[in-house]
Amino acid sequence: MISPLAYIHPEAKIGENCEIGPFCYIDRNVEIGDNNTLMNSVTVLYGSRIGNGNTFFPGAVIGAIPQDLKFVGEESTAEIGDNNKIRENVTINRGTAAKGRTVVGSGNLLMEGVHVAHDAIVGNQCIIGNGTKLAGETIIDDKAILSAHVLLHQFCRVGSYVMVGGGTRSSQDILPFSMIARDPAAFCGLNVVGLKRRGFDRETIDNIHRTYQIILQGTGLLKDLLEQVENEIPQSPERDYILEFIRSSKRGFIR
């Protein structure tokens, strides 16, 4: 199932039952697992590590060197998990000395023209819309949805279960479970529809809402507001995730 018009370096490792279309280019030091489909004109470059069951659409480029002037040819990887759909003209660069690898997890949809820069980490079951650009060392937690043409600044983190509106530009972290939109970007409430679709019950959603009421509408120092959340909101994975997210934020978060 490999087109005679594809080029595969003799040192590349290709798993079983892969389909590789015409004009694909697979470099040395590449590992591709089982049951992957590479449509025509897919480029997989040095340092790429691809799991199982992925589909790559025409024009995708995986493992190109970072667009970072500090990169001097160090060994690094671009790692992709299982069962992802990587649409046309998506670019996923490999890492730099900062982290050594760029990671895209499993079950994601990266739509046309998405760019994942060096050392970025995309979790699992995320949807990244057309033309969205993720700068270096950004982190996208699981089950996030970023609409078309979102621009995310270097080092930013996006929480799980968020919905980010099309065209949003963010230079700060995006809180879990939230909706973010407008220009400049602003907190627009909880992603209630998304949470219900993911099976969150009413009590859990209400506790997340109360948590953000305290943090975003309260007065006083942030550390005191976080302690108030710990005292007033019942312990849960969702509450603790929000607290960890905020306490570990290096760029601040959108309010």
Catalytic residue positions, numbered = 118-119, 136
Q: Using CA atoms of 196, 201, 207, 213 in order, give the dihedral in degrees to the nearest 10.
A: 20
Query: What are the phi and psi torsion angles at 113 (to 5°)?
Result: 75, 10
Structure tokens, 90: 């998506």
- The 3-state DSSP class for residue 93 equals strand
Query: Residue 247, exposed/middle/buried by CB under 10 A (0-12, 13-18, 19+)?
Result: exposed
Count of all residues that appear for the chain in the document: 255
- Dist. CA 196–CA 192, nearest whole Å: 6
Report whether the peptide linkage leading into residue 184 is cis, meaning its omega lies within 30 degrees of zero. Answer: yes
Q: What percent helix, strand, coil does the chain show, rounded to 5?
A: 15, 30, 55
Q: Are 166 and 179 in contact (CB under 8 A)?
A: no
Given the DSSP bridges, would you call strands 178-181 and 186-190 parallel, antiparallel or unpaired? antiparallel
Spatial CA neighbour of 169 closest among 189, 148, 200, 190: 148
Given the DSSP bridges, would you call strands 163-164 and 178-181 parallel, antiparallel or unpaired? parallel
